[in-house]
């Protein structure tokens, strides 16, 4: 369905953005207040505290300035604990892709087996149902304790949380392949392996891709929390480090970047999903 | 060294395959023999020292040797005294560093000042070490990373090595605390709305935050409340909250106050969220807070590295102790790579000229101080409080645990080597007017009206 006026939706989006920033500006606007304390004291505290108030939320202008600061120098490296936001994002993306890739390597073959054999499906079902709803972060202490390496623990948490949607979706897709197609393959005496690759895989591909899309979304959600826990590098560490400094402007910048990267990852998998979709 | 022999000396041979002295077939053999000789000489020195200590009168030693023979004597002495180990230790004393690239974890608070500042101000490189100081998210994480050997050494709260060694809250693993980081430097901060409730008796129902269960903060807050008649488990709520979340929680009204490490207290003032009710030095002047710690395994396997590391920490601590260096240190540790705080906040903590949150500028140069000596009595006091609040169950050998974990002898020796003034082992501990006798820990625990044991 093609709209007669294709520019309308983007215009409306821009309007919403302007409205949001406007409300934000008004909510955080503070008229310049007189200092209520002597100058010696005022020099020792923040600007808000010197007028007897609590430090406030940053204004859109302050966040904009921070964003510009990050964008103009995203890849600086000033020591172990202070790296540019670009480097931090790359670390996070690397971890997500590694954990997600490992999960795909395990989940898709296993999902195939589960989907093709009702017996194994029934036998493994209780495990999947119990482990699936566990919050990924609940695995963290266990991972740290047994793996004894925080970097690998973070990847393990990504792995375990991206595993289930892919596993369940693959099994569902494989089990749901139309009987007729399988029967046709059997009549033509196609080998089991060939059936798996040439009939079942293309038929289940859209469902598998949906599972992968859900998984990468979850993985990207979890990496921030995992990195806040283990620290060191990554966008989650960046958020934690700026929280430590109570720098809300930096945290809002990070939220924006996290959202943008998440959108990019999702779009990428949506494209892939579209590539394998077929019409019946 | 033989390559540098005097070529104008007629006794020295420079050519013809043999060695410089002519007694060995090759130069390598000569060098080897020389090293062996040096080692034998060193061993002799150790043996001599041991024998002199065992037999103060030489006549007795000679009589003993004549009676049993040298071989039997050596065997007999070895059973009494680990001669082999002593020789080994002596030989290593002057040895090379086993490891020069190290990772040391820290929590971004001013207690970690010596560990952090040793990096930008070059104290680690001065002793030949290439140390990476890694900021860590919380106490449980730093403990787990240290236990997992991701860190060679770490900044910990002083009760943590005791808890790890006694297996409180984790499996028992021998841990050591060879140096105290800082003394004093904590404070009780309350939310602005409580600025008229300065008497702790009005604090019933308050929610307080401390950084960790096994922290001086927890024990000092409990002590302070109990002395004012409040039961810390029944009349108030004490939660463990990571330092960065404390100010945010105070702002959001989730807690009424906290006993926290700096710069958290000063940061609450800086942001207009809270005021400093009392400095921890008013509760116990000179109390330890954080320690520099390493596993016993690291200490045993890398004695030279451990000594170099400890020396750089001691050296940095001595530098931090001098009031005139504090501004420079504040500027060095405030950036994002270390504490990630406004410089003025760190400066107020370290110089002791600070805004109290109620409109007064206060001056107390001892607000935080740095004294590395790990007194056994500190450890015993901490253990009594762990016992008092039910964290330690059963019988506790206070003196033994204290001695095993707080390595006072090592610190004393290295401090002497560095020319630092010796610590007074009998320094009294007075907490809110009550003197603590480290020789009577059990009686001390029993003397409190409010306790859980």
Same domain, A129 and A235: yes
The predicted pLDDT at position B19 comes to 60
Over residues A150-205, the pLDDT tens digits come to 788 889 999 998 999 999 999 999 888 888 888 888 898 888 888 888 888 888 99
- Report the distance separating Cα A202 and Cα A197, nearest Å: 7
Q: Is residue A65 part of a domain?
A: no
CA angle A230, A231, A233 (to 5 degrees): 125
Over residues B413-451, the pLDDT tens digits come to 888 888 888 777 778 888 898 888 888 888 898 888 888
Q: What is the CATH number of the domain that holds A113?
A: 1.10.3720.10
Question: CB B134 to CB A37 under 8 A?
Answer: no
Give which of B294, B100, B151 is closest to A148, Cα–Cα. Answer: B151
Same domain, A265 and A227: yes
Q: How far is A145 from chain B (nearest CA, A)?
A: 7
Q: How far is A106 from chain B (nearest CA, A)?
A: 27
Nearest 5°: phi and psi at B175?
-125, 155
| Contacts with B259 (C-beta within 8 Å, 6 or more apart), sequence order | B186, B187, B188, B189, B208, B210, B217, B218, B220, B221, B224, B280
Nearest 5°: phi and psi at B168?
-90, 115
Give which of B44, B57, B55 is closest to B83, Cα–Cα. Answer: B44
Percent residues over pLDDT 70 in chain A: 96
Over residues A44-95, the pLDDT tens digits come to 887 777 776 777 788 888 888 888 888 888 888 887 778 888 888 999 999 9
Same domain, A8 and A131: no
Residue of B nearest to A229 (CA): B137
Same domain, A20 and A114: no
pLDDT for residue B1 is more than 50: no
Q: Is residue A188 part of a domain?
A: yes
Q: Best interface-test mutation with B: which of A80, A81, A247, A248 has the largest number of B CBs within 10 A?
A: A81
Q: Poorest-confidence range of A42-56, A222-236, B40-54, B80-94?
A: B80-94
Residue of A nearest to B360 (CA): A41
The predicted pLDDT at position A257 comes to 93
Same domain, A50 and A94: no
Q: Collect all residues of chain A within an 8 Å Cβ-Cβ radius of residue B271.
A: 46, 48-49, 54-55, 246
Q: How far is A208 from chain B (nearest CA, A)?
A: 37
Question: CB A52 to CB B272 under 8 A?
Answer: yes
Q: Smallest Cβ distance to A44: which of B244, B336, B355? A: B355
Question: CB A46 to CB B270 under 8 A?
Answer: yes
Over residues A118-139, the pLDDT tens digits come to 898 889 889 988 988 888 778 8
Judged by a CB distance cut-off of 8 A, whether residue A30 touches chain B is no
β B186-191/B183-184 pair status: unpaired
Same domain, A12 and A142: no
Interface of B with A (CB under 8 A): 108, 132-137, 141, 144-145, 147-150, 192, 243-245, 247-248, 251, 267, 269-273, 335-338, 340-342, 344, 348, 353-355, 357, 359-361
| Contacts with B127 (C-beta within 8 Å, 6 or more apart), sequence order | B308, B309, B311, B312, B315
Q: How far is B145 from chain A (nearest CA, A)?
A: 7
Mean pLDDT of B161-166: 86
- Report the distance separating Cα B94 and Cα B304, nearest Å: 8
Q: What is the DSSP string of B192-253?
A: GGGTT--SGGGGTT-EEEES-SSSHHHHHHHHHHHHTT--TTTTSEEEE--HHHHHHHHHTT
Over residues B87-132, the pLDDT tens digits come to 555 555 556 788 888 899 998 899 989 899 888 888 898 888 888 9
Judged by a CB distance cut-off of 8 A, whether residue A78 touches chain B is yes
Q: Hey, what are B79's tokens?
A: 């059973």
Same domain, A225 and A173: yes
If one compares B232 and B421, the residue with the highest pLDDT of the two is B232
Question: CB A45 to CB B355 under 8 A?
Answer: yes
pLDDT for residue B2 is more than 50: no
Q: Give B187's pLDDT tier (boundaries 50, 70, 90).
A: very high
Q: Collect all residues of chain A within an 8 Å Cβ-Cβ radius of residue B144.
A: 144-145, 150
Mean pLDDT of B359-379: 88
Percent of residues in chain A assigned helix, strand, coil, to nearest 5 = 75, 0, 25
Question: How many domains, chain A?
Answer: 2
Q: Collect all residues of chain A within an 8 Å Cβ-Cβ radius of residue B245.
A: 243
Same domain, A104 and A48: no
Q: Is residue A72 part of a domain?
A: no
Residue of B nearest to A52 (CA): B272
The predicted pLDDT at position B48 comes to 73
Q: Is residue A61 part of a domain?
A: no
Same domain, A141 and A190: yes
Question: CB B135 to CB A242 under 8 A?
Answer: no
Q: How far is B432 from chain A (nearest CA, A)?
A: 30
Question: CB B244 to CB A243 under 8 A?
Answer: yes
If one compares B382 and A34, the residue with the highest pLDDT of the two is B382
The predicted pLDDT at position B255 comes to 92
Q: Is residue A75 part of a domain?
A: no
Over residues B387-404, the pLDDT tens digits come to 899 888 888 888 888 888
Per residue, the 3-state secondary structure of B378-434, as one string, reads HHHHHHHHHHHCCCCCCCCCHHHHHHHHECHHHHHHHHHHCCCCCCCCCCCEEECCE
Q: Give A35's pLDDT tier (boundaries 50, 70, 90).
A: low
Over residues B239-269, the pLDDT tens digits come to 988 887 888 888 888 899 999 998 899 999 9
| Torsional class of B205: left (φ above 0), alpha (ψ -120 to 50), beta (otherwise) | left
Same domain, A134 and A35: no
Q: Collect all residues of chain B within an 8 Å Cβ-Cβ radius of residue A81.
A: 133-135, 336-338
Q: Hey, what are B127's tokens?
A: 């002793």
Q: Collect all residues of chain A within an 8 Å Cβ-Cβ radius of residue B108.
A: 244
Q: Is residue A240 part of a domain?
A: yes
Q: Is residue A46 part of a domain?
A: yes
Domains and CATH numbers, chain B: 2-93 (no CATH), 101-180+288-427 (3.40.190.10), 186-282 (3.40.190.10)
Percent residues over pLDDT 70 in chain B: 85
Same domain, A110 and A34: no
The predicted pLDDT at position B80 comes to 64
The number of C-beta contacts closer than 8 angstroms across A and B is 109
Over residues B15-43, the pLDDT tens digits come to 555 565 666 666 666 666 666 666 666 66
Q: How far is A7 from chain B (nearest CA, A)?
A: 43
Same domain, A40 and A92: no
Q: Is residue A184 part of a domain?
A: yes
Q: Smallest Cβ distance to A231: which of B137, B337, B341? A: B137
The predicted pLDDT at position B35 comes to 61
Q: Which domain holds residue A4?
A: 1-55
- Provide the total of helices (H) and of strands (E) in chain B, helices listed first: 19, 16
Judged by a CB distance cut-off of 8 A, whether residue A28 touches chain B is no
Question: CB A148 to CB B141 under 8 A?
Answer: no
Q: Smallest Cβ distance to A45: which of B145, B148, B272? A: B272
């Amino acid at each position: 369905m093609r709209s007669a006026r294709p520019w309308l939706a983007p215009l409306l989006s821009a309007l919403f953005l302007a409205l949001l920033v406007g409300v934000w500006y008004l909510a955080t606007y503070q008229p310049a207040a007189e200092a209520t304390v002597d100058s010696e004291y005022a020099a020792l505290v923040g600007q808000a505290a010197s007028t007897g108030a609590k430090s406030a939320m940053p204004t859109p202008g302050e966040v904009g300035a921070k964003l510009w600061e990050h964008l103009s120098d995203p890849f600086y490296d000033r020591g172990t604990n202070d790296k540019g936001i670009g480097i931090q994002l790359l670390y996070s993306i690397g971890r997500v892709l590694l954990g997600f890739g490992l999960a795909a390597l395990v989940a898709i073959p296993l999902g195939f087996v589960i989907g093709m054999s009702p017996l194994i499906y029934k036998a493994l079902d209780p495990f999947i149902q119990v482990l699936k709803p566990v919050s990924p972060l609940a695995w963290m202490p266990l991972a740290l304790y047994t793996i004894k390496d925080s970097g690998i623990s973070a990847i393990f948490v990504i792995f375990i949380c991206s595993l289930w949607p892919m596993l369940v979706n693959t099994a569902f897709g494989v089990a749901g392949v139309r009987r007729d197609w399988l029967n046709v393959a059997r009549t033509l005496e196609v080998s089991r392996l060939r059936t798996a690759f040439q009939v079942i895989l293309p038929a289940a591909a859209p469902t598998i891709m949906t599972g992968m899309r859900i998984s990468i979304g979850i993985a990207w959600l979890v990496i921030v929390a995992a990195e806040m826990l283990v620290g060191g590098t990554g966008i989650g560490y960046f958020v934690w480090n700026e929280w430590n400094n109570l720098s809300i402007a930096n945290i809002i910048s990070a939220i924006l970047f996290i959202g943008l990267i998440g959108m990019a990852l999702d779009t990428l998998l949506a494209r892939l999903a579209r590539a394998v979709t077929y019409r019946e | 060294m033989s390559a540098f022999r005097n070529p104008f000396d007629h006794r020295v041979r420079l050519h013809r395959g043999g060695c410089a002295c002519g007694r060995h077939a090759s130069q390598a053999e000569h060098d080897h023999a020389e090293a062996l000789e040096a080692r034998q000489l060193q061993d002799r020195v150790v043996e001599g020292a041991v024998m002199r200590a065992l037999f103060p009168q030489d006549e007795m030693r000679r009589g003993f040797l004549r009676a049993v023979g040298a071989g039997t004597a050596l065997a007999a002495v070895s059973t009494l005294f680990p001669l082999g180990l002593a020789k080994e230790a002596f030989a290593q004393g002057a040895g090379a560093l086993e490891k020069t690239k190290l990772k040391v974890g820290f929590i971004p608070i001013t207690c970690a000042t010596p560990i952090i500042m040793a990096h930008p101000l070059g104290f680690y490189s001065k002793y030949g070490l290439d140390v990476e100081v890694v900021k860590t998210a919380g106490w449980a994480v730093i403990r787990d990373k240290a236990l997992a050997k991701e860190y060679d050494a770490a900044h910990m709260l002083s009760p943590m090595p005791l808890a790890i060694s006694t297996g409180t809250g984790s499996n028992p693993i021998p841990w050591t605390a060879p140096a105290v980081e800082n003394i004093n430097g904590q404070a009780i901060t309350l939310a602005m709305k409580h600025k008229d409730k300065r008497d702790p008796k009005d604090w019933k129902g308050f929610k307080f935050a401390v950084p960790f269960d096994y922290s001086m903060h927890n024990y000092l807050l409990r002590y302070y409340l109990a002395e004012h008649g409040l039961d810390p488990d029944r009349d108030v709520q004490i939660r463990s909250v990571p330092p960065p979340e404390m100010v945010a929680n105070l702002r959001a009204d989730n807690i009424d106050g906290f006993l926290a490490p700096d710069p958290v207290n000063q940061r609450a003032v800086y942001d207009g969220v809270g005021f400093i009710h009392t400095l921890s030095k008013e509760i116990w002047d000179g109390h330890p807070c954080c320690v520099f710690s390493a596993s016993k395994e690291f200490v045993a396997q890398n004695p030279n590295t451990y000594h170099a590391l400890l020396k750089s920490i001691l050296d940095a601590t001595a530098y931090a102790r001098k009031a005139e260096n504090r501004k420079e240190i504040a500027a060095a540790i405030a950036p994002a790579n270390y504490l990630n705080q406004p410089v003025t906040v760190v400066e107020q903590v370290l110089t002791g000229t600070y805004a109290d949150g109620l409109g007064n500028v206060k001056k107390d140069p001892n607000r935080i101080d740095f004294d590395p000596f790990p007194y056994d009595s500190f450890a015993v006091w901490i253990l009594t409080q762990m016992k008092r609040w039910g964290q330690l169950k059963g019988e506790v050998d206070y003196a033994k645990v204290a001695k095993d974990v707080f390595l006072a002898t090592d610190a004393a020796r290295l401090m002497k080597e560095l020319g630092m003034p010796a610590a007074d082992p009998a320094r009294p501990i007075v907490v809110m007017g009550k003197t603590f006798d480290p020789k009577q820990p059990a009686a001390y625990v029993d003397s409190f009206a409010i306790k859980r044991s």
